[in-house]
């Protein structure tokens, strides 16, 4: 395909793509997310291909393999367009029926529909399934409508019109202003206002500036960045290019894990296609603005996702955090102003530019605007990735979307923010999903991994699990973090094994203060989080184990595992 050289040509190209597409032509979208892949959807994909070829329907039915559709618990998911009929837990044997009955004869196959376990009702369409009903999928919604390897699919959905609007209708300052007015806050963990960060980099002296997508996603239990980026790479890329324009950067980086082959492939294809179309590289869309992107693969550990460590890695230096007394927005890669944002933060940008900050700020709470991707794991009926308006209560997430706690167990707590986060007890479940409210409760939202904990799980064991994780996944450079975590882990482990002593809790509290006060980077400073939040809400569990733990330990050896680990199997 040839290069596009102006805003008008972009619209022409879009019309051309749309005119070739018949909205009424049936399309089969098969979830190709990692979780469905693990459930064997490659067999379903080939079954569809065989069946369609066998019935010589190639020209009449479009098949696309999409990114993750979120409802991983009930995968593999297949959606039939244009009716948007959603089938769950599809098996290769179901494929002939789907093609001949649903696609050709327009009949719904009842047995493949999702049945609400509570009401017994069948759901035909996406939005009738309780898991989707209370979501607002501003970012994630397009996943079922596009093949991540096709830029034309993205253009057909209006893609890159926000970029064209930014370059031709707005000054870079106006773009920045719109993001500031939208009050977009960083999705990578800190919730820092993106507009302010952009502005700092924009105003910092120097012509050479960088922008980066943080796609490291090291938080255990978090897999929404990968789901979004793999499923819709162009939405992130478009946001990055717009950000580069606002900041005044001509070189960007995508920082991601080496062991995410599907994501890497989709990113590389997206970059090549965007370049071919003139949406990336020299003189984008004929606007005079140039911007290139390089992918940086890291082989790193959890701390490699921290901003200064990540920039050291891109710089080819030892990937360890450095003190940020001078902000990276002013001095980052090669000492130049560098703006880093998370995958999801970037993905919000095109939406804000297209629909305006007023639309954006109408969603969410007073100080937390827009939607948030959450990956739900642990003791919950529906594990998966979802997107809800900020302000949704945790109760809605757990019970309405998550489907509640399996096996008739009672909910004990929900945990946010992984090893740097904290737990919120059941009694506070009506708390809204909001950066400040959660932080105030000692359970900062982090990247959006939400671990649901039932009555059987020990909070002491949970704390031990996170400390153990950090003992391996911190860098070990500074003393409070390295030695503090070593000692905290030893003490919590011994409490957990029924060998705790009087004074252990106080010693843990003292160590927490030193970690929080003296550590070099945010990992060490927030590593006491899981302990501090559980000692606040579940102190009795620690005290009980210290007093009577020996017998408890022996009987509990069987439920050692923490279900957050499911996340690690996802890509």
Partner 1 sequence: MSEIILRIDGKEVKASTEMTVLAAARSVGINIPTLCHHEKLEPYGGCRICTVEVETGGRTSLVAACLYPVQPDLVVRTRSENVDKIRKMLLELLLAHAPDSLELEQLAREYGADKNRFEKESSFCILCGLCVRYCAEIKKANVVGFVESGTRREISFIPERAARECWKCKECFPLCPTVALQAAYFLTEALAFPSPSPESESER
Ligand X SMILES: Cc1cc2nc3c(=O)[nH]c(=O)nc-3n(C[C@H](O)[C@H](O)[C@H](O)COP(=O)(O)O)c2cc1C
Q: Cα dihedral sign for 478, 484, 485, 486? A: positive
262 binds ligand SF4 (CB under 6 A): no
Helix (H) / strand (E) element for 88: namely none
Helix ranges (H only) for 41-144 are: 41-54, 95-97, 130-133
Evaluate whether 92 touches 43 at the Cβ level (below 8 Å): yes
Question: Quick one: which of 275, 277, 264, 188 has its CA closest to 233?
Answer: 264
CA distance 83 to 378: 33
Task: Select the binding partner of residue 237 from partner 1, ligand X, ligand SF4, none (C-beta < 5 to 8 A, by kind).
Answer: none
Beta bridge mates, 452 = 378, 414
CA distance 481 to 303: 12
Q: In the bound complex, what is the minimum distance in angstroms from residue 474's beta carbon to ligand SF4?
A: 4
The window from 43-51, 139-147, 317-325, 538-546 that contacts partner 1 (CB under 8 A) reads: 317-325
186 binds ligand X (CB under 6 A): yes
The window from 139-147, 170-178, 311-319, 515-523 that contacts ligand X (CB under 6 A) reads: 515-523
Provide DSSP, 220-273: TT--HHHHHHHH-HHHHHHHHHHHHHHHT-SEEEEEEETT-HHHHHHHHHHHHH
478 binds ligand SF4 (CB under 6 A): yes
Residues 298-327 that bind ligand SF4 (CB under 6 A): 303, 321
Binding mask 441-470 for ligand SF4 (x = CB under 6 A): ------------------------------
Backbone φ and ψ for 206, nearest 5 degrees, come out as: 115, 150
Beta bridge mates, 371 = 389
303 binds partner 1 (CB under 8 A): yes
Q: In the bound complex, what is the minimum distance in angstroms from residue 523's beta carbon to ligand X?
A: 4
CA angle 395, 396, 399 (to 5 degrees): 75
Q: In the bound complex, what is the minimum distance in angstroms from residue 545's beta carbon to ligand X?
A: 29
Binding residues for partner 1, total number by CB under 8 A: 34
Identity of the residue, 270 or 467, whose beta carbon is nearer to partner 1 in the bound complex: 467
Backbone φ and ψ for 160, nearest 5 degrees, come out as: 65, 5
Evaluate whether 72 touches 571 at the Cβ level (below 8 Å): no
Q: In the bound complex, what is the minimum distance in angstroms from residue 230's beta carbon to ligand X?
A: 15
Q: Which one of residues 27, 271, 521, 545 is an interface residue with ligand X (CB under 6 A)?
A: 521
486 binds ligand SF4 (CB under 6 A): no
Residues 317-346 that bind ligand X (CB under 6 A): 340-342, 345
41 binds ligand X (CB under 6 A): no
520 binds ligand SF4 (CB under 6 A): yes
CA distance 381 to 368: 27
Identity of the residue, 194 or 451, whose beta carbon is nearer to ligand X in the bound complex: 194
Q: Copy the structure tokens of residue 506.
A: 């106080």
355 binds partner 1 (CB under 8 A): no
CA distance 333 to 325: 15
Q: Which one of residues 303, 397, 445, 508 is an interface residue with ligand X (CB under 6 A)?
A: 303
520 binds partner 1 (CB under 8 A): yes
Q: Which one of residues 324, 355, 482, 499 is an interface residue with ligand SF4 (CB under 6 A)?
A: 482
Evaluate whether 493 touches 531 at the Cβ level (below 8 Å): no
Helix ranges (H only) for 497-557 are: 504-518, 522-526, 529-537, 539-556
Radius of gyration for the alpha carbons in the chain, expressed in angstroms and rounded: 24
Q: Which residues contact 304 (CB under 8 A, 6 or more apart)?
A: 216, 218, 298, 310, 313, 319
Beta bridge mates, 533 = none
Q: Which one of residues 82, 206, 261, 517 is an interface residue with partner 1 (CB under 8 A)?
A: 517
Q: Which one of residues 147, 183, 217, 238 is an interface residue with ligand X (CB under 6 A)?
A: 217
Q: Which one of residues 482, 498, 499, 543 is an interface residue with partner 1 (CB under 8 A)?
A: 482
Identity of the residue, 88 or 214, whose beta carbon is nearer to ligand SF4 in the bound complex: 214
Q: In the bound complex, what is the minimum distance in angstroms from residue 521's beta carbon to ligand X?
A: 6
Evaluate whether 265 touches 227 at the Cβ level (below 8 Å): no
Q: Which one of residues 15, 326, 550, 554 is an interface residue with partner 1 (CB under 8 A)?
A: 326
Binding residues (CB under 6 A) for ligand SF4: these are 303, 321, 474-478, 481-482, 519-521, 523-524
Binding residues for ligand X, rule: CB under 6 A, are 186-190, 192, 194, 214, 216-218, 302-303, 305-307, 340-342, 345, 447, 521-523
Residues that bind partner 1 (CB under 8 A): 301, 303, 318, 322-323, 325-326, 470-480, 482-487, 489-490, 510-511, 513-514, 517-520
């Amino acid at each position: 395909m040839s290069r596009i050289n102006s805003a008008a040509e972009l619209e022409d190209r879009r019309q051309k793509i749309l005119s070739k597409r018949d909205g009424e032509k049936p399309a089969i979208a098969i979830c190709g997310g990692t979780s469905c892949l693990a459930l064997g959807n490659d067999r379903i994909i080939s079954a569809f291909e065989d069946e369609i070829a066998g019935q010589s329907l190639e020209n009449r039915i479009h098949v696309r393999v999409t990114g993750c559709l979120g409802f991983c618990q009930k995968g593999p998911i297949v959606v039939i367009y244009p009716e948007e009929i959603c089938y769950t837990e599809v098996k290769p044997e179901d494929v002939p029926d789907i093609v001949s009955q649903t696609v050709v004869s327009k009949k719904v196959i009842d047995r493949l529909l999702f049945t609400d376990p509570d009401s017994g009702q069948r759901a035909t369409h996406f939005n009738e399934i309780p898991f989707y009903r209370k979501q607002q999928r501003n970012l994630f919604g397009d996943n079922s409508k596009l093949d991540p390897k096709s830029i034309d699919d993205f253009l057909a959905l209006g893609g890159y019109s926000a970029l064209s609007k930014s370059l031709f209708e707005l000054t870079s300052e106006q773009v920045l202003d719109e993001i500031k007015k939208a009050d977009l806050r960083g999705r990578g963990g800190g919730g820092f206002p993106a507009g302010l960060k952009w502005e700092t980099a924009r105003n910092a002296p120097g012509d050479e500036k960088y922008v980066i997508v943080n796609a490291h996603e090291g938080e255990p239990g978090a897999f929404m960045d990968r789901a979004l980026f793999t499923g819709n790479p162009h939405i992130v890329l478009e946001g990055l290019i717009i950000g580069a324009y606002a900041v005044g950067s001509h070189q960007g980086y995508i920082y991601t894990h080496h062991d995410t082959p599907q994501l890497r492939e989709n990113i590389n294809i997206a970059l090549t296609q965007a370049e071919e179309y003139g949406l990336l590289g020299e003189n984008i869309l004929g606007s005079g603005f140039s911007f290139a992107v390089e992918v940086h693969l890291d082989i790193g550990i959890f701390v490699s996702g921290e901003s200064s460590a990540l920039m050291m890695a891109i710089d080819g230096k030892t990937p360890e955090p450095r003190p940020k007394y001078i902000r990276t927005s002013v001095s980052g890669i090669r000492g130049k102003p560098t703006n880093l944002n998370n995958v999801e933060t970037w993905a919000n940008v095109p939406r804000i530019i297209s629909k305006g900050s007023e639309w954006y700020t109408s969603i969410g709470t007073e100080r937390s605007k827009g939607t948030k991707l959450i990956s739900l794991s642990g003791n919950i009926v529906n594990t998966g990735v979802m997107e809800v308006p900020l302000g949704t209560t945790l109760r809605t997430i757990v019970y309405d979307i998550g489907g509640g706690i399996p096996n008739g167990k009672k909910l004990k707590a929900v945990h946010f923010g992984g090893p740097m986060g904290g737990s919120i007890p059941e009694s506070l479940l009506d708390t809204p999903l909001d950066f400040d409210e959660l932080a105030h409760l000692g359970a900062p939202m982090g990247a959006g991994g939400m671990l649901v904990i039932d009555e059987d799980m020990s909070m002491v064991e949970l704390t031990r699990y996170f400390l153990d994780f950090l003992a391996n996944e911190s860098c070990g450079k500074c003393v409070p973090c390295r030695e503090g975590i070593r000692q905290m882990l030893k003490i919590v482990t011994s409490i957990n094994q029924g060998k705790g002593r009087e004074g252990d809790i106080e010693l843990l509290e003292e160590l927490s203060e030193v970690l929080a006060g003296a550590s070099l980077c945010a990992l060490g400073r927030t590593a006491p989080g899981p302990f501090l939040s559980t000692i606040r809400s579940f102190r009795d569990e620690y005290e009980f184990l210290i007093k009577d733990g020996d017998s408890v330990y022996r009987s509990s050896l069987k439920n050692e595992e923490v279900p957050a680990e499911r996340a690690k199997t996802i890509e």
